[in-house]
Structure 1
Amino acid sequence: MKPSSTVAVNAKALELRRQGIDLVAMTAGEPDFDTPQHVKDAAWRAIQAGKTKYAPPAGIPELREAISQKFKRENGLDIPPDQTVVTVGGKQALFNLFQALLDPGDEVIVIGPYWVSYPEMARFAGGEAVEVRTGPEAGFIPDPAEVEKKVSPRTKAVVLNSPGNPTGAVYPQEVLTAIAEIARKHDFYVISDEIYEHLIYEGEHFSPARVAPERTITVNGAAKAYAMTGWRIGYAGGPKDVIKAVVDVNSQSTTSPDTIAQWAMVEALTNLEASQQFIAMAREAYRGRRNLIVEGLNRIGLPTPKVNGAFYVLSDVSKIDPDEVKAAERLLTEARVAVVPGTDFAAPQHVRFSYATSEDNIRKALHRIEELLARP
């Protein structure tokens, strides 16, 4: 396995900051907002009530019930509590899902550009990632016909991530429906990573499990919607036999996520008024930042499509250097702007900017990049 390039680049940026270097870090996929107060208060209440013991490998029953209700309320999915599982972040839900599903030689279709961890998780489980390419000219939206071309007798799953990392693309309902129907036709699974579902600026979210519930595992978590990255709470819901297998992997690895964090997540999912106010505030802030960075990067000569979700943009930096790694190094060392090169995302000549930072930082970054481009 290769280490996560996004984690490595962010660690380098943080180290430079610790050294006192004035750096604009646009690397991490982490909200810059604090966890909502009502969620923190719930964690404190759990501590005071002594809810600090081991939890069941599938998660506390109260959280599994809240997840089931969330699926019904927000996604139109009928997933009972015993078909849900709580994990140490959405990343562990995906990792354990690959462990549960894949045998050596199995194939997983991934839509490129993709999150760096999907292929590595598949390889760790003995599988192989098969890429379907998309480009900025199509808004990074996959063609279902191209997905079907990649299907083989060894295909075990396709991973869909909408809104997506690193592209910010939101897949239309008809695209998700078509891919789900392909999975049903060829008898493989859809792994739907919906961690950014609440961060859509134009259009609406659609869960492919509405089309093929018997073939779809829906993965989500607390990190992006509720700014709970460090709490490490994720979850998944889907076919009973698949979820049972994921629970078995949990039981032999971490046993369960942090019990206190699980009670905090119950609050996030059940105190709807407070949580929706927080989500709406954050979404509007990200929308303004998205508009600012997309307009700014295009204005200074770095082609950047305006996509509709998450808090990332992929920008063509061949004007800085045709090699995206060298371009990212120049941005870091000369402009003091930290970004993630597109290499491990399967996005050559591009870098990923995260706009989960203030508008002042975005303006500062744009100014510094413009100065870099102006140099002979």
Structure 2
Amino acid sequence: MLTLNPLLAAVAAPPIAEAQRWVAGRSFPADRPLIDLAQAVPGYAPPEALTAYLAERLRDPAMHRYTAILGVPELRAALAARFARYYGGTIGPENVAITAGCNQAFCLAMAALARPGDQVVLPVPYYFNHRMWLDATGIEALHPAFRPDDGGVPDVEEVARLITDRTRAIVLVTPNNPTGAIYPAQTLRAFYDLAKRRGIALVLDETYIDFLPTDARPHDLFEDPDWASTVVHLYSFSKVFAITGHRVGSITAGPALMAQVEKAMDCVAICAPRIGQEAALFGLERLGGWVQGNTAAMRERATVFRTALSQLEGWRLVSLGAFFAYLEHPFAGRDAVAVARFLALEHNLLTLPGSMFGPGQDRFLRVAFANVGSDAAPVVAGRLTAALASR
């Protein structure tokens, strides 16, 4: 029998796949179809202009070859310019690496920052793939307490008390997955100051930055001339251009970290998929109006779902933003997996249990409302109400 890596063997199974197995093979009546609020995917397809462009580009033999390890130079330059306009400060192409999705961006960043036995601060509830990767690589996760009364925004002073001489980074996801919470600019500044003072990285995952409720700049961290000594910024093109299957993300950081990321990237993928990089570049250069339309639609959808979910009797809306809502369920004595399975099997409503996002989360469910239209909000609310009545 093979001897397996005990670290990886101890990692939880992929949560989305587990939830999908609850409804696999089932048929659903036309008047009560399955509403899938489990996986965070845009509820719309990429524009025809993009798919037509990619179809034509596939005729070019260069599209089927490797790119530079850190990405197509034109894409790195375009993203650096976009970030410099949006955030302010000085960001150049040399600060940008293109990765095979934001998940890989996180893995590469951790490979560059930490080794087995080191620590990383990961607030609860966390994005499950982050914890899975830390566990698989022998990095200890430090969890500040979840603060539902503050919308899930972590406390800077508590994090400061957790940091030891083995701590290498603080990881923040904003807008948050799973809670949807949007961290205030002053909170991000406080975490930046803490990380800089303690000589560790602030890893800032802004996968959902294109779906903020306003056009206001979310923070000014890049305006610090020395930002690259502290900030490791992660981003994804998957949601903004609806190209989740093409796997394109990015790391924005200083040259010291980039040199290590390049080594790791060369080993695990050599480069991000070429056609995905072409899609991202096309999007940055030509899809600004389309993105603005989707941002407006998602803002409207968030407002509709906030209204519907906040008025539910028995259920408590903890936070909501970008693609997600985080609900406290009313089923005392039942863990989150049991509640999520009950909703899936009895009410044709697929959500994710909070326990997939960390300890102490059995009272909560993640609702990925971006998957559906605004017209689904009253239907979802109705099914949650019916579930409470049938307990």
User: What is the Cα-based RMSD across aligned positions, in Å?
Assistant: 2.1
| Structure 1 counterpart SS, 2:39 | coil
Matched with 2:294 is 282
**Aligned positions of 1:163-312 closer than 5 A:** 163-202=175-214, 204-206=217-219, 208-211=221-224, 212-271=227-286, 275-301=287-313, 302-307=315-320, 309-312=321-324
Aligned-pair identity in percent equals 23
Sort the Cα spacing of 1:23 and 1:206 in 2 relative to 1 into closer, same or farther, 3 A. same
Contact 1:10 1:28 survives alignment (8 Å): no
Sort the Cα spacing of 1:85 and 1:185 in 2 relative to 1 into closer, same or farther, 3 A. same
Sort the Cα spacing of 1:241 and 1:16 in 2 relative to 1 into closer, same or farther, 3 A. farther
| Structure 2 counterpart SS, 1:158 | strand
Q: Residue by residue, what CA displacement relative to the aligned partner does 1:259-306 show, whole Å, maximum 9, x if unpaired? A: 1111111111122xxx23222222222223223323323323211035
- The alpha-carbon deviation at position 10 of structure 1 amounts to 3.8
Matched with 2:5 is none
Equivalent of 2:82 in 49, 57, 70 = 70
Structure 1 runs (4+) greater than 4 angstroms displaced: 11-15, 17-21
Sort the Cα spacing of 1:79 and 1:19 in 2 relative to 1 into closer, same or farther, 3 A. farther
Matched with 2:33 is 22
Q: Residue by residue, what CA displacement relative to the aligned partner does 1:219-276 show, whole Å, maximum 9, x if unpaired? A: 10111212111111011110112112111111111111211111111111122xxx23
CA–CA distance in structure 1, aligned partners of residues 312 and 332 of structure 2: 11
Contact 1:341 1:350 survives alignment (8 Å): yes
Equivalent of 2:152 in 130, 140, 143 = 140
**Which residue identity does 1:351 align to in structure 2?**
L
- The alpha-carbon deviation at position 77 of structure 1 amounts to 3.9
For these two proteins, the number of residue pairs brought into alignment is 372
Sort the Cα spacing of 1:306 and 1:96 in 2 relative to 1 into closer, same or farther, 3 A. closer
CA–CA distance in structure 1, aligned partners of residues 36 and 330 of structure 2: 20
Matched with 1:341 is 353
Contact 2:28 2:34 survives alignment (8 Å): no
- Any gaps of 5 or more consecutive residues in structure 1? none
CA–CA distance in structure 1, aligned partners of residues 183 and 190 of structure 2: 11
Sort the Cα spacing of 1:101 and 1:16 in 2 relative to 1 into closer, same or farther, 3 A. farther
- Any gaps of 5 or more consecutive residues in structure 2? 1-10
Equivalent of 1:33 in 34, 44, 54 = 44
Sort the Cα spacing of 1:49 and 1:95 in 2 relative to 1 into closer, same or farther, 3 A. same
TM superposition score normalised by structure 1:
0.92
CA–CA distance in structure 1, aligned partners of residues 241 and 387 of structure 2: 36
CA–CA distance in structure 2, aligned partners of residues 353 and 32 of structure 1: 14
Q: Residue by residue, what CA displacement relative to the aligned partner does 1:113-152 show, whole Å, maximum 9, x if unpaired? A: 1111112211222211101123221121122111111111
Q: Residue by residue, what CA displacement relative to the aligned partner does 1:195-227 show, whole Å, maximum 9, x if unpaired? A: 111111146422644443311111101112121
